[in-house]
Structure 1
């Protein structure tokens, strides 16, 4: 009799988990034996068990125990390399040992007020009650240590094998307790490639508005993790399908523009998802949140700028300008850092400029300005522009790629000759003040800017030529240099 495939997968998954647990056993076994010696039970739990089953357990380990926080501290005293109690009000004690980070939490049996996501912390007395309050069944498994006995009362193993995302309690109870779990579901879809159960999608759709109870900072954290997952397109599509995106990134579903019968423009929403995937394919050093945000949001200005022209065409004039402003507004609302906001907005603002390159008509001055305006974002801009070439016309797509190859080659040649990464005027501020007899102030800045514009237009100037141009500018400003 053949063993059903899912049972084989189940056995293999358990074997993977044992291998992973043995890999970290110097820490897990040591701490478990200390708890057992003190008369307490200890379980590896939640995401740590899930990741162990998937063969990807890291050095951040989550445990749960029947010991109360003061007892946890006693067990860890003299053993851990470091201990911190910043989460002790929620029953959590942190520790470091042998390069691993441990979070040990007393069994919980919390209740929620249905208004915020903050629980009324209540300690529990059983692993079963603790697992019932967790977000998803794949995170509601535990391994008792040191015996390595599995505890799986809610079918988490079967859900993991089937790559299904479901909740231990009903989705309505789970999401009512903590609405952030709905967004976390989209994150797990992106990170792990799981498919949410129909009842989970139904509850997310019905309860999407509850996400308004969550602070922007927590929403931003989940969104960033989603975007940096392996399947962010799937996570975004789930957000849009359930209505969560209307509260997180309403500009994304707004890109679902009605396509006219003559198909005068692309489906902007699906185009943006394709650009996101193509940008990811171009990443070189791991997940790039700035690039991924820019790829997803590069066309969010199109809905506000769409115009139907008299000849039957459709235009989106200045959508990159409008889009950059929208990006700043949305990312500020999500509490992203100033650096992330400005970098993403600048990429959105610049993403269309290449299309003025045509067949290489740009002057060297235009190439210098392209590089200077991109600054340290140039490498990301290259990736974004290439990812944005999504036309189905293969000949046109190849032509665009060849044009960009040529632009990059020109940039490389100019950079080698002129050090484009550090474009500065040919005279510095101190020399400008000396030559014009000016004190520090706005006029010096204006002179500096004028010389930089000349540098961009004409390339490096000889020193005497730069001095002549400075004096010519000063005369136009009514400035009388000394010794004249």
Structure 2
């Protein structure tokens, strides 16, 4: 149960010296906060730095986006910042938010709110409030229910957010039932903070998530998608994913994930496909390197085996197989990402990685020709580096000898790709004759015949490597005679 507000909690003495320095540093590097505060005070309004801005300052995670709360209404806010802000936008006006920019800092200024859901619709009904304490009470979690007034720098923490921050704990200002009833997306946000900040979820909050999981059905796919993407891009996505599955939230929008608990992984029978999948996600995170967070790679790691439950077969000897699960999984991934309204380009990349993640297996048996290597590279295209990482991440066996052999095989494949690439442009495998040359040699206009000829020459390129001009022309003429084109 959350604590009631008390006056002592609002006093600045509750901040340690390090925490006071963190807030002071945020305001020092962002003098626009005090400038803005003085403008609001002169106009007779309050202004407070709130939410994630205060939380991140206390965590030492300074950013260029600042969130403010005020008793001024949106029209009043626009009048106060007129002539001061270098740019303004009103895309959030229906929720009481006015956006502005000053010296490269993005500001969001929101009227005190007391929003709530009516239990049926998917969007909040916005009601303006009149006090900071009421505004803080309607926020999602206590660590986001702290404020620093500007320009006075008075710290306000009526719900123990500072203690929860120190304990790395996720609680709600009021009861979890009240908070999640106002906005069910907050349940997904709790899992996101577990992933992003590595915070533990309070038992009361967790119990409410389990009891109210079906309320997530009231939220739009777009809002769920955005929150889930942030979770997947967190420092520890597996912590968030476990919470989604254990509370039943995943079943509401990503049922393929809990379904993995029903299958046993044929590569490592000491754990099920669900545990294997979470291990692959962790492996993928470790392999990202210095390039930053790679959402496409992480989601492909999460989805790579979702086709296994549908393809599971147990033979008479008790051996488990999942033939063609990569094909089924790619189809399921496309459907799920479409349901969550992911952009087509992102969906296409994840689906291709899922479809290709098994292609490597068999290489170590010595069955791959140079042609197979070219096709592997050509099919992966711009995703080749990610496919390397996904394939390596998929090795989760505890058998050290087997793991070492798989790693050695993949090292050999990468070296072989590099050797062939030194002689051929594997990154852009194209026919040795372009469309214009094909039309000129065959004497045909643009149309299906040109496309068929182009595809044939590409197959020859993949099978035999580069052909010189005379060889390519001879092959094209041979194909045209066999096809009755000439």
TM-score (norm 1): 0.95
The alpha carbon displacement at 1:466 in A equals 1.3
Q: Per-residue displacement from partner, 1:102-158 (whole Å, max 9, x unpaired)? A: 111111123431112433322211111111111111111111111211111111111
Residue 237 of structure 1 is matched in structure 2 by 242
Q: Per-residue displacement from partner, 1:69-120 (whole Å, max 9, x unpaired)? A: 2221121111111122232232211111111011111111234311124333
Residue number among 277, 287, 293 corresponding to 2:299 in the alignment: 293
> Matched residues in 2 for 1:462 and 1:390: separation?
44
Residues 261 and 409 from structure 1, CA distance in 2 versus in 1: closer, same or farther, beyond 3 angstroms? Answer: closer
Give the 5 Å matches for 1:164-243. Answer: 164-243=169-248
The alpha carbon displacement at 1:310 in A equals 2.2
The alpha carbon displacement at 1:256 in A equals 0.4
> Matched residues in 2 for 1:102 and 1:182: separation?
26
Task: Check conservation: 1:117, 1:179, Cα contact below 8 A.
Answer: no
Residues 476 and 280 from structure 1, CA distance in 2 versus in 1: closer, same or farther, beyond 3 angstroms? Answer: same
Task: Check conservation: 1:265, 1:314, Cα contact below 8 A.
Answer: no
Residue 4 of structure 1 is matched in structure 2 by none
The alpha carbon displacement at 1:250 in A equals 0.6
The alpha carbon displacement at 1:258 in A equals 5.2
Task: Check conservation: 1:16, 1:55, Cα contact below 8 A.
Answer: no
Q: Per-residue displacement from partner, 1:31-90 (whole Å, max 9, x unpaired)? A: 111111222111101111111111112111001111222221121111111122232232
Residue 354 of structure 1 is matched in structure 2 by 360
Task: Check conservation: 1:360, 1:407, Cα contact below 8 A.
Answer: no
Residue 45 of structure 2 aligns to a residue in which SS?
Answer: coil
Residue number among 380, 397, 406 corresponding to 1:400 in the alignment: 406
- The alignment of Structure 1 onto Structure 2 pairs a total of residues equal to 474
Q: Does 1:101 align with 2:103?
A: no
After TM superposition, where is structure 1 displaced by more than 6 Å over at least 4 residues in a row?
260-263
Residue 319 of structure 2 is matched in structure 1 by 313
The alpha carbon displacement at 1:21 in A equals 2.6
Residue 391 of structure 1 is matched in structure 2 by 397
Residue 427 of structure 1 is matched in structure 2 by 433
Q: Per-residue displacement from partner, 1:259-300 (whole Å, max 9, x unpaired)? A: 599975741111111111111111131111100000011011
The alpha carbon displacement at 1:17 in A equals 2.9
Residue number among 341, 346, 349 corresponding to 2:347 in the alignment: 341
- Of the structure 1 ranges 248-257 and 20-29, higher mean CA displacement relative to structure 2 is found in 20-29
Task: Check conservation: 1:44, 1:62, Cα contact below 8 A.
Answer: yes
Residue 94 of structure 1 aligns to a residue in which SS?
Answer: strand
Residue number among 378, 381, 384 corresponding to 1:372 in the alignment: 378
Residue 45 of structure 2 is matched in structure 1 by 40
Task: Check conservation: 1:40, 1:67, Cα contact below 8 A.
Answer: yes
TM-score (norm 2): 0.94
Residue 43 of structure 1 aligns to a residue in which SS?
Answer: strand
Q: Does 1:281 align with 2:286?
A: yes
Residue 262 of structure 2 aligns to a residue in which SS?
Answer: coil
Residue number among 126, 132, 152 corresponding to 1:147 in the alignment: 152
Task: Check conservation: 2:122, 2:220, Cα contact below 8 A.
Answer: no
Residue 25 of structure 2 is matched in structure 1 by 20
The alpha carbon displacement at 1:22 in A equals 3.2
Q: Does 1:246 align with 2:261?
A: no
Task: Check conservation: 1:10, 1:161, Cα contact below 8 A.
Answer: no
> Matched residues in 1 for 2:314 and 2:375: separation?
32
Residue 3 of structure 2 is matched in structure 1 by none
RMSD of the TM alignment (CA)? 1.9
Q: Per-residue displacement from partner, 1:150-208 (whole Å, max 9, x unpaired)? A: 11111111111111101111111111111111111111111111111101110100111
Q: Does 1:82 align with 2:124?
A: no
Residues 8 and 346 from structure 1, CA distance in 2 versus in 1: closer, same or farther, beyond 3 angstroms? Answer: farther
> Matched residues in 2 for 1:376 and 1:166: separation?
43
Task: Check conservation: 1:451, 1:470, Cα contact below 8 A.
Answer: yes
> Matched residues in 2 for 1:258 and 1:326: separation?
16
Task: Check conservation: 1:275, 1:390, Cα contact below 8 A.
Answer: yes
> Matched residues in 2 for 1:202 and 1:165: separation?
13
Task: Check conservation: 1:360, 1:403, Cα contact below 8 A.
Answer: no
Residue 353 of structure 1 aligns to a residue in which SS?
Answer: coil
> Matched residues in 2 for 1:15 and 1:65: separation?
22
> Matched residues in 1 for 2:259 and 2:413: separation?
33
Task: Check conservation: 2:263, 2:308, Cα contact below 8 A.
Answer: no
- Of the structure 1 ranges 166-175 and 63-72, higher mean CA displacement relative to structure 2 is found in 63-72
